Amino acid sequence: EAPEAEEEAPDTEEDEEAPMETISLDAGADDEEAEMDVTELDIQAAQRSLFGDAGADPAVEVVDIDVEDVEDVEIPDFAGSPTAPRAAAAPSTAEDGLQAVREVGAKALETVTVELREDREFMLAASRMCPLLDMLSYASEKLRGELYADREFMLRAIEEAGAAMLAHAAKGLRADLGFMMEASAVSSAAEAMQYASEELRMMLDDDDDEDD
């Protein structure tokens, strides 16, 4: 029985040496697998901390965002908020337009319709709620031409804004001696007569020569 034990000993040594050689050859592969196992564990641990046990392995969908799509994002509208300033609605009628002029001045004439800015009665009413020159700046070109030829309006304009308004007066008015005398009475006579038509000035000069 003793010799049989000695014969089995070498077999045992060979069996122990074989696994040692296998471990040394595959050591690098085992290290990589170990690193991969550690990385997966770290990821799973991070997922558990963020999502809990139920979200340990969530299905994450990566979505590409197109810049053009961002422009279509709906912006919340806070216009209805009690603290948000409300834009004034454009006046649609003469009454609304005059009320707007009464509240904010001639600036409101920017928002009225073209028809109202061509309306003589409306614009004259507006001119009594704001400076006359401001009203004229918003009046249509056609209406301004009509007002510059209106005797009463021009006398009022000269009285409020000065004799320089005669530069806009229709030629027929500037050739009218009676009108020019009235204009001189509500402003500087010397300045007003500078705007008289050439024919009127020549007539006045002839009268002065006859008097001499």
Helix axes 151-161, 177-185, angle to 10 degrees: 30
- Per-residue pLDDT tens over the stretch 127-166: 999 999 999 999 999 999 999 999 999 999 999 999 999 9
- How far apart CA 165 and CA 197 sit, in angstroms, is 14
pLDDT of residue 194: 94
DSSP class of 81: S
Model confidence at 53: pLDDT above 90 = no
- How many Cα atoms are found within 13 Å in the side-chain-facing hemisphere of 192? 25
pLDDT score for 120? 96
pTM, 2 dp: 0.55
> pLDDT tens, 100-121?
999 999 999 999 999 999 999 9
Rounded Cα distance, 93 and 95, in Å: 5
89, 91, 107, 211 from 84: Cα distances, Å: 15, 21, 22, 74
| pLDDT of 78 above 50 | no
Tens digit of each residue's pLDDT (9 = 90 or more) over 2-35: 445 444 545 544 444 444 444 444 445 555 554 5
pLDDT class of 47 with cuts at 50, 70, 90? low
**C-alpha dihedral sign at 111, 117, 123, 127:** positive
